[in-house]
Structure 1
Amino acid sequence: MSFQYEAIDHIQLASPIGSEDLAREFFVELLGFQEIEKPDVLRENGGVWFMTGTIQLHIGVEDTFSPAKKAHPAFRVKSIDKLKEYLSGKSVKYQDDDRLPGANRFYLNDPFGNRLEFLEWNA
């Protein structure tokens, strides 16, 4: 092949129409992402974009929305136990999962029911 893949540019999840403020509360206020501006030509579609580090997460709105309950992004984090402690302090429920050898991980759902994975690889 004369080309190569470099990285994932962004992840897109869906949410119901009109849910942008709820997405902001969850991803910015709770998880610490930053909102980034959508290009002018795409604003009319609704939705909202976020970024943390080099990871972009786009929330697109759908009138026939159905949450992704199995398919999910996985966010690699440092100090996952501190993240769990932080979420517990905010009364956010998450589900630990010890089925991936060599990883400390958990799942939680965004406000729309989309599954999100957070993991830290053991050294």
Structure 2
Amino acid sequence: MSVSYLNKEDFTTKVANVWNGGEWKYLGDKPAIIDFFATWCGPCKALSPILEEVADKYKDQIYVYKVDVDQQEELAALFNIRSVPSLLFIPMEGKPKMGRGVMPKSDLEYAIKSVLL
């Protein structure tokens, strides 16, 4: 499986340490997508296999992470997640960009190529 699950501690070491009002500084060595999801969410379940495919296809170029908003409420609050699924696209340079809702695989790949790579 190419998709990894993040908790607050993993986020702090792999993505960014933004808990004490710090500025955004991405810590990864490849661009990333973070899927904010809920286990009870139908659209999230529909998006999950698409993310798995994309994670496998681009495994040498990007990271794909998942955050369960019910288990990681602090992370969800930090990014003001109000609906799931929400996708955070994190390029190597610059600020992350948020996308909301299910994306078809073609749209997701376009976002990866245009925002991340």
TM > 0.5 = no
Which has the larger share of helix?
A: 2
Please say which structure displays the higher CA radius of gyration. Answer: 1
Which has the larger share of strand?
A: 1
Instruction: Select the structure with the greater relative contact order (CA < 8 A; seq sep ≥ 6).
Output: 2
